[in-house]
Amino acid sequence: MPIEVKEVSCRYGERTPLEVQALKEISFRAEDGEFVGIMGHTGCGKSTLIQLIAGLLTPGEGQILIDGKDINGPGYDREELRRTLGIVFQYPESQLFETTVWRDVAFALKHLDLSREEKAERVRWVLEAVGFRMERAGKSPLSLSGGEKRRVAIAGVLAARPRILIFDEPLAGLDPWGRLEFLELAARLHRQGNTILMVSHDADALCGYADRILVLDRGRLSAQGTPEEIFGDLERAETLHIGAGEVRRIAQALYEKGRLQSPAITKYKILLGEIKKNNKGR
C-alpha cells in the first residue's frame, strides 16, 4: 500500500510570538516500490515533512496514511510503523554509539522477538546487504570512513526489515567515492522492492536515481513530476529555487551548439549515449 499525505500543515511554536508555518496543505502519494526525491531550498520544510511521515512529529492539520491507516489516528499501533518504516538522518554517523560495528547493528534487534542465533544471522545478512565487509565488523564505528559509517547506520535501520526507507541529506559530507557507494546502495535497495524517500540538494543524484521528484518552496509543494518534467525547462527550475544539475546544464550547452537533438536530458548514461550517437561519423 502507498504513503498518502493529505492536506498536511504543520506549525512550530504554535500560539506563541515565535510561531512559524513550516508546511502548508501538502498532498502527495508515494506508491509501493517508488523512489521519490524531495528537493527545495534550506528551510522549505523538507526535514519537517519526513519527520511527519516517520511519526516523529504530529501535523496540526491533515492526515498521513501508510497502508491505508492514519499513523496519528486513535488506536494506531506505533510498533507497526517502526516495523514498516526506517529513517536515516543527516550525518547518521552521529547515531553510532556502540564499541563495535556488530554490536551497533545488533542493538536495533534488541526489542525483536528473535533468538540469539536469529539475531546473529540477521546482523550478518544486513551487513552483507549494505556491502560492508564482515572482517571489519569487530572495528569501532568511529574508526570507519564516512561511506562505511553511512553503511553501518543504514544497516542498523535495515535490520528490522522495513519496507519504507527515508534518507535525510544522505550525501552530505561524503567524498565522491562515498557518494557513489551510497547511491548504488540506495538503487539496490530500490530494486529489491523498497519504497525510498530521499531528501537531497543534489539534482544530479536525484535525477539519476529517483522515479519522481517533489519540490518544496516556503512550506508548500510547488511542483512534482519526473526528473525530465522538473528540469526540462531550466528557467522554471530556477524559479523553483532548486537550479539544475551538471548533466542538464551540459546537455543544454551541447544542444545550443547543435551537438544534441534535445536538451531535456537529466541522466549521465543517457547523456553519454546521446553524445556517442551524435558524434558518429564526425
Arithmetic mean of pLDDT, 158-170: 90
The segment with the largest mean pLDDT, out of 13-17, 19-23, 267-271, 276-280, is: 19-23
Cα separation, 265 vs 247, whole angstroms = 7
Q: How confident is the model at residue 281 (pLDDT cuts 50, 70, 90)?
A: low
Summarised one tens digit per residue, pLDDT across range 11-45 is 998 888 888 999 999 999 999 999 999 999 888 99
Q: How long is the chain? A: 282
Q: Across all residues in the chain, what is the average pLDDT?
A: 89
21 is a domain residue:
no
124 is a domain residue:
yes
82 is a domain residue:
yes
164 is a domain residue:
yes
80 is a domain residue:
yes
Q: What integer pLDDT is reported at residue 103 of this predicted model?
A: 93
Q: How confident is the model at residue 104 (pLDDT cuts 50, 70, 90)?
A: very high
Summarised one tens digit per residue, pLDDT across range 173-221 is 778 887 888 898 899 899 999 999 999 999 999 999 999 999 999 999 9
256 is a domain residue:
no
Number of independent structural domains in the chain: 1
Arithmetic mean of pLDDT, 120-146: 89
17 is a domain residue:
no
Q: What integer pLDDT is reported at residue 272 of this predicted model?
A: 85
Q: How confident is the model at residue 270 (pLDDT cuts 50, 70, 90)?
A: confident
Contacts of 17 (CB under 8 A, 6+ apart): none
Summarised one tens digit per residue, pLDDT across range 216-265 is 999 999 999 999 899 888 888 888 888 788 888 898 898 888 888 888 88
Output the pTM of the full model: 0.86
Summarised one tens digit per residue, pLDDT across range 49-74 is 999 999 999 999 999 999 999 999 99
Judge whether residue 97 has pLDDT over 60.
yes
Q: What integer pLDDT is reported at residue 61 of this predicted model?
A: 95
Q: What integer pLDDT is reported at residue 165 of this predicted model?
A: 95
- Residue identified by cell 529513517 is 87
Structural domain span for residue 94: 34-56+75-227
Radius of gyration of the chain (CA): 20
- The CATH number of residue 172's host domain is 3.40.50.300
Least confident stretch, 83-92, 250-259, 272-281: 272-281
Cα separation, 232 vs 265, whole angstroms = 7
Q: Is 269 exposed, middle or buried (0-12, 13-18, 19+ CB in 10 A)?
A: exposed
10 is a domain residue:
no
